[in-house]
Amino acid sequence: MRKFKNLLLVALFFVTATVLGQTKISGKVVDETGEPLPGASVVEKGTGNGTSTDFDGKFMLNTKSNNGTVVVSFVGYTNKQVAFAKGGDLGTIQLTEDGQVLDEIVITTTSFAIDRKTPIAVSTIKAADIEMKLGTQEFPEILKSTPGVYATKSGGGYGDGRINLRGFNSENVAVMINGVPVNDMENGRVYWSNWAGLGDVTSAMQVQRGLGASKVAVPSVGGTINVISKTTDVKQGGNVMFSFGNDGYQKFGFTYSTGLNDNGVAATVSAAQTNGEGYVDGTPFSGFNYFVNVSKQFNESHKLSLTAFGAKQRHGQRQNMHSIKTFRDSERGRRFNSDWGYKQGQLTSSEDNFYHKPQISLNHNWTLSDKTFISTAAYYSFGTGGGGGTGGANKFRFNDSDYRIGPLGTINFDKIVEENIANGVNGSETILRASRNDHKWYGILSTLKTDLTDELTFLTGIDYRNYKGIHFTEVTDLLGGSYFADDSNVNNLGNQAQVGDKIWYDNDGKVGWLGGFGQLEYSKDKISSFFSFSLSNTSYQRIDRFQYLDSDPLQESDKYNFLGFGTKGGVNYNIDDTHGVFVNLGYFEKAPYFNSVFAENNNVDVNSDAENQKITSYEVGYTLRGEKLSANINLYRTKWDDRTEVARFELQDESIAFANILGVGALHQGVEVDFSYKPIDKLTITGMLSLGDWRWLNNVENVQIFNEANELVDTVDIFIEDLHVGDAAQTTASLGLNYKLTPETTFTLDYNHYSDLYAEFDPSDRGTEGAPEAWKVPAYNLFDTALRHKFKLGNFDTTLTARLNNVFDVEYISDARDGGNSTATDAQVYYGLGRTFSFGAKINF
């Protein structure tokens, strides 16, 4: 390991000699409002020589020519050509909006891809589109018209949205914010409720399908979602905003920037408060999100930027799926939720979520020379919170009339309280609890980029992370009783737990990560290509304070290391100014997840020889960039061996169980088409078609099933070979219209189609050969629309935005779990939301 670290450090500080006799061009790229455009592409016309703007919209480009022209472009804006002579500062370059221009964004330090150069399938969404279309939707839903994406609100609670990319869930999709990975270090998941305010501070978001352009040692199977937050605005000023919507939705916020002072210091602060009752019954929510950025430009070589943001929130949830019949029989229909009621007149959730996860990062940009640049980010994140639920005797079954107020009614908490009080010295039979998942996470990312020649660029970097997950269950409400009896803690047998005390389990998961990469990029004339290699070591250790005495050395497990590596490459060839083709391929091995190593949730029965997950991916693509029509066609094939899969399902008593599926393989392949057509200046038409074929490759023996108390409840064999992978629509399509009614007024209409959605299935239901496919959910179609109008309110620029989602109030099933018989009758489902609306205003000052 020491040799490995030394090699990484040597690679990081490897710097080649600079080449003399070059001309330096600089400038700044902004939009129509004067705000900087980070990641705008700046390319010397007729060459492959180019760069991109930084977070402040600034760029610097070296060229051997004394005069020429640079082409400046950014997704959604018209390209602009600017002549230069003998270098110098080109000043401020302003771009105007143009929906025809697609995906022309690149930020080297955060692995953004550039159109017609980076050989991957990519889609980019800019801040203006997010602001116009997001409204009351979940942040992942803004991507729902992207090829390969399936995004839903899941149970419908605030921040409970989920996203699948090419059939892979968020555990297998790398999500990065400002280049910093945010997937849970133990299980790979992304909890969007932790980032509920991200839409307010996003400058641009890019979806890289397949291998992606990530330059850190992050192995993404389905793809990479890259989010770039807003940085310090150089211009002094800000805005106030408010919005309201269906079911009591309210949001108020502000942003203010100091502007750059004479000492090179600038600061931006943003905050917003969001509240509502929720479309789904019993899902009230409250969230406060904030963003702070302070930067200091020391000189031309050094810039330091401190960013902190987070979203403290609490919301009710709908955790339990139900049959279609249950929803239809309920007076509340699609809004029905069995996980709440009233206690002494106060709304009380049996399932809720609360969390606060600030992320703080310090970024240093160091320009060593005209050809060499180092970007370093040190970050720290600490999360506190978890998910609420029930404990003890299960009196919360939705069909138990003894504890419901009316047929399919709300939970009768008052009756449960009365019974607990009557139980006297025996304590509470039934309680509310919270499964906590606190964590502490810090790391450092550093990337060096140097131009070896005019055509060849070398990049290398390190990625170090240290993570500690703190897992326990605590009593949150005794529901009238005097205590809750629990003997799970061998250090405290006969525990009479009070509110705040720990029950069932208390353990830590410690994860270490050290990775490095090297990449060569070649670009000349019509050809651009790259080849990269990454190496990483993942270490796991488990500490258990409940199953082992404090004096037992087994309380802290050994540390288990897993070496992963990856290699990928690709070539893009621009046939002419209109047509281009690309190909990429890669192979990598990633460490199994934490729960696969400690599969039986103890420190003795450890799967220390767990197999690395092995992924092979191929992709070819064609790009068309015409005067009015732009289009992309991609064909992909991703084979995943020794896949780690965690399935979640309900036991007969409606409690939740988990299955750890090890050693299964899957094949995901398909074709994706997207286009943008602009027949006239005022009208842009966009569209997408994604056809996937995602199947399991083999059967698996000895699958272990655990309940929420980490107890092994069953071991089964599953027969899933050639069955379709469930939980995401394998066929999706969209058609969008963006029409400028006037220069100040824009109207959008979006249509989305979803089909070939197979239900997620319980592995124990496929226990015999010839098992059937999971139930296929009926196809559905949705329409969304938005209207934005800009005007002057006195001296202030003001924007009004109105949004309507599911315009025709379509009743549809967005998520489903197969009941074992592959029929609609016994399937458990979530219905998607009906018609929703929001209206907002932003006043700039």
Q: Where are the alpha helices (DSSP H) in 535-694?
A: 594-597
Classify residue 793: in a domain, yes or no: yes
Is 204 a domain residue? no
pLDDT in tens, 350-371: 999 999 999 999 999 898 998 8
Checking if the pLDDT of 100 tops 60, the result is no
Torsion of CA 636, 637, 642, 644, to 10 degrees: 30
Its domain, for residue 637, covers 229-251+283-844
| Residue 707 near residue 667, CB atoms below 8 Å | no
pLDDT of 668 > 70? The answer is: yes
> What's the rounded mean pLDDT across residues 736-746?
94
Mean pLDDT of the chain: 87
pLDDT for res 767: 79
Confidence of residue 655 (pLDDT cuts 50, 70, 90): low
Kindly state whether residue 299 falls inside one of the protein's structural domains: yes
pLDDT tens digits along 585-597: 999 998 888 988 9
Q: Which of 113, 16, 12 is nearest to 460 (CA)?
A: 12
pLDDT the model gives residue 16: 35
Report the alpha-carbon distance of residue 257 to residue 235 in Å, rounded.
7
Residue 7 backbone dihedrals phi, psi, to 5 degrees? -60, -40
In this structure, is residue 158 part of a structural domain? Answer: no
Identify whether 468 is part of a domain.
Answer: yes
Please give the pLDDT value at position 112: 66
Return d(Cα 36, Cα 417) in angstroms, integer. Answer: 58
The pTM assigned to this predicted structure is 0.85
Mean pLDDT (whole number) for 409-421:
96
CB 622 within 8 A of CB 579: yes
pLDDT value for 33: 60
| The pLDDT value given to residue 10 | 43
| Phi, psi dihedrals of residue 337, rounded to the nearest 5° | -145, 125
Q: What is the residue-wise DSSP string for 185-218? A: TTT----GGGGTTHHHHEEEEEEEETT----SS-
pLDDT digits (tens, 9 = 90+) for 506-552: 999 999 999 999 999 999 989 999 999 999 999 999 999 999 999 99
Least confident of 14-23, 225-234, 258-267, 391-400: 14-23
Q: Is 728 helix (H, G, I), strand (E, B) or coil?
A: coil
pLDDT of residue 264: 85
pLDDT above 90 covers a percentage of the chain that reads 58
Question: How many C-beta neighbours within 10 Å does residue 375 have?
Answer: 22
pLDDT band at 621 (very low <50, low <70, confident <90, very high): very high
Between 97 and 296, name the one with better pLDDT.
296
- What confidence tier does 494 reach under pLDDT thresholds 50, 70, 90? confident
CA angle (77, 627, 576) in 5-degree steps: 105
User: DSSP label at 774?
Assistant: P
CA distance 112 to 41: 11
| pLDDT band per the 50, 70, 90 thresholds, residue 111 | low
* Residue 559: other Cβ atoms inside 10 A: 11
User: Residue 32 CB: number of other CB atoms within 10 A?
Assistant: 11
How far apart are the C-alpha atoms of 121 and 141, rounded to whole Å? 19
Band (737; pLDDT cuts 50, 70, 90):
very high
710 or 247, which is more confident = 247
Neighbours of 425 (CB within 10 A): 8
Alpha helices in 777-827 (DSSP H): none
Whether the per-residue pLDDT at 5 is higher than 80: the answer is no
State the pLDDT confidence band at 769, using cuts at 50, 70 and 90: confident
Give the pLDDT of residue 231.
67
Residue % of the chain over a pLDDT of 70 = 90
Say how many domains are in the chain: 1
> To which H or E segment does residue 280 belong?
none
* For range 157-176, the mean pLDDT: 90
Tokens of 526: 């019509």
Q: Is 741 contained in some domain? A: yes
* Helix, strand, coil percent values for the chain (each to nearest 5): 10, 55, 35
CA distance linking residue 688 with residue 620, whole number of Å: 17
Residue type, 503: I
- Residue among 820, 714, 828, 810 nearest 773 (CA): 820
With bands split at pLDDT 50, 70 and 90, how would you rate the model's confidence at 105?
A: very low
Cβ–Cβ < 8 Å for 179, 125: no
Check pLDDT > 50 for residue 99.
Answer: no
109 has pLDDT over 50 = no
Structure tokens at 2: 């020491």
Residue 12 has pLDDT above 80, yes or no: no
Predicted local distance difference test score (pLDDT) of residue 717: 82
Q: What angle do CA 253, 257, 259 make, to 5 degrees?
A: 170
Least confident of 422-436, 479-493, 702-716: 702-716
Q: Is 19 inside a domain boundary? A: no
Return d(Cα 353, Cα 376) in angstroms, integer.
34
170 versus 825: the higher-pLDDT residue is 825
Assess contact for 746 and 740: CB atoms under 8 A: yes
Q: What is the pLDDT of residue 11?
A: 43
Q: Which residue has the tokens 């109207």?
A: 747
CATH number at residue 439: 2.40.170.20
**Per-residue pLDDT reduced to its tens digit, 315-364:** 999 999 999 999 999 999 999 999 999 999 999 999 999 999 999 999 99
The reported pLDDT for the residue numbered 599 is 81
The pLDDT of 768-780, averaged and rounded, is: 93
Residue 22 vs residue 790, higher pLDDT: 790
For 675-726, the pLDDT digits (tens) are: 999 999 899 999 999 999 999 998 888 777 777 666 777 777 888 899 999 9
At 328, give phi and psi (nearest 5°): -70, -30
189 domain-assigned: no
